[in-house]
Amino acid sequence: MNKKLKIIYFADIAAEHTLRWVLYFAKLGHEVHVITWNDLSSRYRLDDVENSFNPATLHVICKNRPTSYSHSFGTFFFKYLKWIFLIIKNTRAIFFEVRPDLIHSHSVGSYAWITLFLPKTKIIMTPWGTDILIDMKESIFNRFISLRALHKSSAITVDAEHMKDKLINFGIEPSKIQIIFFGTNTKEYVRIKKERSRIREKYNILETDIVVISTRTLNPIHDVFLTIQSIPLVLNENKNVKFIIASDGSERTQMKEYVANLGISDYVIFPGYMTSPEMVAFLSASDIYVSSSKADAGLSASTAEAMSTGLPVIVSDNSDNRFWVKDSGILFEDGDSQGIADGILSLVDNSGLMETLGSNGKSRILIDNDYETEMNKVNTLYLVEVNKN
């Protein structure tokens, strides 16, 4: 069972999940390649991105995806087809050069669809949530091509029972599906006192202030706007609360304008996109975590990281959240900004409850969602699948 494999990942390298999975198996000794068409050029130099994936080999193909707003429809359609053709051509070239033992597609979208254009091989697929819960539901074309890819796969991993049920309802063979959590690096996501002091000093946050943090992306699906709408409700009752709206996304500018128009900019910090060490620092500086996401697969990585750091969590009552946070946080109904505010205020007024919930959450992640444990399950799956006839 110590066989070293050649593995190709199809994945978006902007996602923290991609980096963590790839590095784990590359450092385990497998020959790992990553094929992506997101070069992160708007954020980093490509050399720096490639170095971050070392010892895996990163293949960034077909950059500069055509955008409809820069072309007429006819021109855009032609350029888009050409772009897709190049993706297929370049991917096949890398496939035949590497000749992998298996392929792992992360998400059941374009990074899974590309497998339909490759020769028969062992394929693992891992849905990330919205690809199954929303995209396949809302688009007939998406559902058709995603199902073709899923049926071609050798095995599928999901991180929640309801995700498994969704796939079975779509006609996927239950025996192909395994529940394996994404895992949290519990050694990395710990509270660091030095970082807590540094961040609070940088943003003029008093030690007597309670800091509420959201780390979900600032895109519609994660509905961070709902969290922001709860802020004036909290401040009406307690002015000693500050808010960190971390990460980045399409709604960031609109959110900042909204906060400014309400006259509460002094209470809200928008630090933007951050690396893992920066995330640990901001979580360390915080006291309460909030996620108002409309949909998740299993426990979101952001919520798990906050729990691992020891923060009590306030999360929307959907997906698998009730299963994970029943003893470590507070649930609120989707779309209920008052519910978020009430949860925050109940913790602000009860430091003992905050500490108890935070401690319970940290223990839960250590026992049931540890990164090393879950990745070892994936490695076993890889070896079993490759050794099948």
Q: How confident is the model at residue 62 (pLDDT cuts 50, 70, 90)?
A: confident
pLDDT at 75 over 80: no
pLDDT at 17 over 90: no
Could you tell me the residue ranges of all domains in the chain? 6-183+371-387, 193-368
Average pLDDT over residues 344-357: 95
Contact 312, 327 (CB under 8 A): no
Mean pLDDT of the chain: 90
3-state secondary structure of 275: coil
Condensed to tens digits (0 to 9), the pLDDT of residues 307-346 reads 999 999 999 998 889 989 889 999 999 999 999 999 999 9
Range 193-368 classified under CATH 3.40.50.2000: yes
Q: What is the pLDDT of residue 198?
A: 97
pTM: 0.79
Contact 30, 8 (CB under 8 A): no
pLDDT at 1 over 50: no
Distance CA 264, CA 343 (A): 20
Condensed to tens digits (0 to 9), the pLDDT of residues 199-245 reads 999 999 998 999 999 999 898 889 999 999 999 999 999 999 999 99
Distance CA 114, CA 89 (A): 10
Which listed CATH number (3.40.50.300, 3.40.50.2000, 3.40.50.10320, 3.40.190.10) goes with 6-183+371-387?
3.40.50.2000
Tally Cβ neighbours within 10 Å of residue 82.
12
Task: Give how far the C-alpha of residue 131 lies from the chain's centroid of Cα atoms, to the nearest Å.
Answer: 13
Q: What percent of the chain has pLDDT over 90?
A: 69
Distance CA 16, CA 34 (A): 14
More confident: 47 or 248? 248
pLDDT at 87 over 50: yes
Distance CA 210, CA 242 (A): 6
Q: What is the pLDDT of residue 239?
A: 95
Q: Report residue 18 as tokens.
A: 């991609």
3-state secondary structure of 87: helix
Q: What is the pLDDT of residue 135?
A: 84
Torsion angle, alpha carbons of 250, 18, 120, 388, to 10: -140
Condensed to tens digits (0 to 9), the pLDDT of residues 92-139 reads 999 999 999 999 999 898 899 999 999 989 999 999 878 888 888 888
Condensed to tens digits (0 to 9), the pLDDT of residues 179-203 reads 999 899 999 999 999 999 999 999 9
Average pLDDT over residues 359-379: 94
Q: How confident is the model at residue 77 (pLDDT cuts 50, 70, 90)?
A: confident
More confident: 162 or 333? 333
Q: Which of 49-58, 68-77, 169-178, 289-298 has the lowest mean pLDDT?
A: 68-77
Q: What is the pLDDT of residue 19?
A: 85
Condensed to tens digits (0 to 9), the pLDDT of residues 34-61 reads 999 876 655 556 566 677 888 999 998 8
